[in-house]
Amino acid sequence: MTILVAEYSDEWQIGHQDTKIFADTENGLKKAIDWIEFNIPYDKEYLCYYKNAVNKIGDKSRENIIHKIKAEGYADENNCCEHFPADFEFEITKSEVEE
C-alpha cells in the first residue's frame, strides 16, 4: 500500500515541525498540500522581515507539486514559485507500507 507522508519545519518557533500521513489518492494529495499551506507561518508584523514572503501555495505551485509527486514520488518547497517566511521547508513523499 502506498501513502503520502507530508512533513514541514520552520524557524518561527525553535524546533517547530510536524508530520502527517495521507492517502495516496488525488484527494489525499490535495489535502496534504492544504495541510502544508495551513501550517505556513504567518504574522503580518513578522512578515516585514521576509520580503515578498507569502503564506499561500499558488495554483502553479500546486500543479508543480502534483506533477513532481506523480513523476518522481516526492516534492518540496523548491517546486513552488512562492517565497515562504521563517525558512519554511516541506516535503511530500510517496512511501510504501505493509498492510
pTM above 0.85, yes or no: yes
Listed residue (90, 95, 94, 93) closest to 36, CA to CA: 90
Please report the pLDDT score of residue 14 as a whole number: 64
Average pLDDT, the chain: 91
Average pLDDT of the residues in 28-44: 92
pLDDT in the model for residue 51: 76
Check if the beta carbon of residue 38 is closer than 8 Å to that of residue 55: no
pLDDT in tens, 41-73: 877 776 667 778 888 999 999 999 999 999 999
**Among residues of the chain, what percentage have pLDDT more than 90?**
68
